[in-house]
Structure 1
């Protein structure tokens, strides 16, 4: 979704309501009730004006309630057998100016509902088929709770396309929230192989597992690794003791949620300012952020400490080294930098690597 410039000014005073999504069965039921209401109204009019109609099979008989129901049904459905007909001026006028609009509304409700249901199902099938053909090298996020939503927000904030993110969650609440965020959802248990196949896990580039149960996360990791040996799997665990088991199951990166929160709480208690800085690093928006970027041509051969960015680690040959490690005393082509930098570029704090500079990895 793209926003126009200066959204703060354009959006002031504007009321925006969420879209109301109704179940197709609710829509169908509503229209059927309206059709029945029209039928009931016509039956009542015919029955109250029974003297204005004549039954061709028995002209001397006055129309009964059953006759009124029969006549109204065949008239609204345009069947019109002709055995019962209006004979008085009032009955004919009612047929001309009341029955005709009611007949049109009745047919529109029934036929229109059928066509809409078929068209909606057809469009949805086409959309799903197109999505299955185009999705690939995407990110699958298992669980759309607090951790899952935060992971998606971080991906989107860093330029990841929402169309390349697929959520797997059995909850109807998660389905509604993910759809509201513009994300594709596969509803089901991620420990089941068939559910992961529907999320196109075999074609995924990365899988993020965020459920609150360590046993489910382990089983999901094993299943994902079996379906896609090349995927990069990031998994959360609640207990640190389960982290080795998660890595043995195939996770490339394991985040211990309870220990991380506990450490942050301890740091905030010992040093409130240090706690604020750590919270700033973990929070999207203004202030500081931790980012990974490529090495620039102008930075080759320099020490990590001498760069404008605050380098905290260097990635070389898929290994992570602290900035003070002698192995990375001098930066070389192919290195990637883990840096602390402003979340938004400021005039006095430029962000290297964001101004179309030449990257060292691009050189022959």
Structure 2
């Protein structure tokens, strides 16, 4: 449609040029009067203040009327169709998107799609996680919509915008706005609406960490700090860093990391890593155990598993699938 509108515009332009040159040659008008009479003719206004005085001029105006008016009407029709179809399509897709967002559950809300936020949503999509993006800049929001993301145009610091993103049913919220004060405000608003939501917030200034934690953020991330650490380690321990990046980021390698929670009633509770059968039956490796905000790294085989523990497990995809089946069979097995 846009290409046809552009071609119609070119046709109208050349019609005006053709009419102007023709009237100058046949009626010997000045360029200003020739343009004026040409526009009068193709727009069917016809004030009559300028008239053709030669037979050649009359013949030329007849040709200009038939060709120019047709081109002008075709161009106007295409423009109207383009505007109407675009508006209707925009309304339809906005309604459809809002409906899809309202039906989401256990999704992740990303506030801000700048340099950091954009990488977040790309990674979430790669991992197969459902997400909703809140972005205030219309141009950027439209780009993300074209890429297939669910986007709400608006200010993430406003409660009504967060509610449009189905915050009450969301799994978590990532606040990646460029200013720390805005991330504090979003965190406060999100926790006020849904106190149980998991919030990860971005910070730029070190002194903002305590404020974000007081506001309710469960995790505070500094992109500058992480980037600096990664660059330093890439210089000091390049092989180790390359290996970790390959395992975590390369989708061609089937190595993944998951979290396994020992729920109440699970048969894994009270067992040791050795007797649990995790390594023997699945081949996956337990890297660490999270227990009461304490991290037990590289646990020994005799380490006892307790209810509420979270196991950080590394393994191939098929090993982790076997682990999921094992965990499902072991849940609620006690009377």
Q: Please say whether Structure 1 and Structure 2 have the same fold, judged by a TM-score greater than 0.5.
A: yes
Name the SS of the counterpart of 1:166 in structure 2: strand
Name the SS of the counterpart of 1:234 in structure 2: strand
Name the SS of the counterpart of 2:82 in structure 1: helix
1:86-110 per-residue CA deviation (whole Å, 9 max, x = no partner) reads 98488547735x5423322211112
Question: In 2, Cα distance between the equivalents of 1:28 and 1:312?
Answer: 61
Question: In 1, Cα distance between the equivalents of 2:180 and 2:191?
Answer: 16
Report the equivalent of 2:124.
155
| CA shift in 2, pair 1:99/1:203, >3 Å | farther
Deviation (angstroms), 1:309: 1.0
Q: Where do 1:1-364 residues align within 5 Å?
A: 35=12, 37-50=14-27, 72-73=38-39, 75-78=41-44, 88=55, 91-92=58-59, 95-96=62-63, 99-136=65-102, 137=105, 138-161=107-130, 164-170=131-137, 172=139, 174-175=140-141, 178-179=144-145, 181-187=147-153, 189-193=155-159, 196=162, 199=165, 201=167, 204-239=170-205, 241-265=207-231, 267-268=233-234, 271-287=237-253, 288-292=255-259, 300-301=267-268, 303-304=272-273, 306-307=278-279, 308-313=283-288, 322=296, 324=299, 329-330=304-305, 337-342=311-316, 345=317, 350-353=318-321, 357=325, 359-360=328-329
Name the SS of the counterpart of 1:352 in structure 2: helix
Question: In 2, Cα distance between the equivalents of 1:180 and 1:170?
Answer: 15
| CA shift in 2, pair 1:283/1:169, >3 Å | farther
Deviation (angstroms), 1:235: 1.2
Quick check: 1:268–1:275 contact (8 Å CA) kept in 2? yes
Question: In 2, Cα distance between the equivalents of 1:255 and 1:267?
Answer: 18
Q: RMSD in angstroms over aligned alpha carbons?
A: 4.7
Question: In 1, Cα distance between the equivalents of 2:272 and 2:111?
Answer: 40
Deviation (angstroms), 1:192: 4.6
1:46-75 per-residue CA deviation (whole Å, 9 max, x = no partner) reads 453349xxxxxxxxxxx8888866764454
Question: In 2, Cα distance between the equivalents of 1:168 and 1:336?
Answer: 34
1:10-40 per-residue CA deviation (whole Å, 9 max, x = no partner) reads xxxxxxxxxxxx9xxxx99997686455334
Deviation (angstroms), 1:247: 1.9
Name the SS of the counterpart of 2:113 in structure 1: coil
Of structures 1 and 2, the one with the larger relative CO (CA 8 A, separation 6+) is 2
Instruction: Identify the structure with the greater helix proportion.
Output: 2
| CA shift in 2, pair 1:39/1:206, >3 Å | same
Name the SS of the counterpart of 1:135 in structure 2: helix
Question: In 1, Cα distance between the equivalents of 2:154 and 2:165?
Answer: 10
Gaps of 5+ in 2: none
How many residues align structurally?
Answer: 314
Worse-superposed segment, 256-265 or 114-123: 256-265
| CA shift in 2, pair 1:114/1:104, >3 Å | same
Gaps of 5+ in 1: 1-21, 52-62
Please, what TM-score do these two structures have when normalized by structure 1?
0.64
Name the SS of the counterpart of 1:141 in structure 2: strand
Name the SS of the counterpart of 2:251 in structure 1: coil
Worse-superposed segment, 277-286 or 150-159: 277-286
| CA shift in 2, pair 1:89/1:276, >3 Å | closer
Please, what TM-score do these two structures have when normalized by structure 2?
0.69
Worse-superposed segment, 147-156 or 180-189: 180-189
Deviation (angstroms), 1:240: 5.1
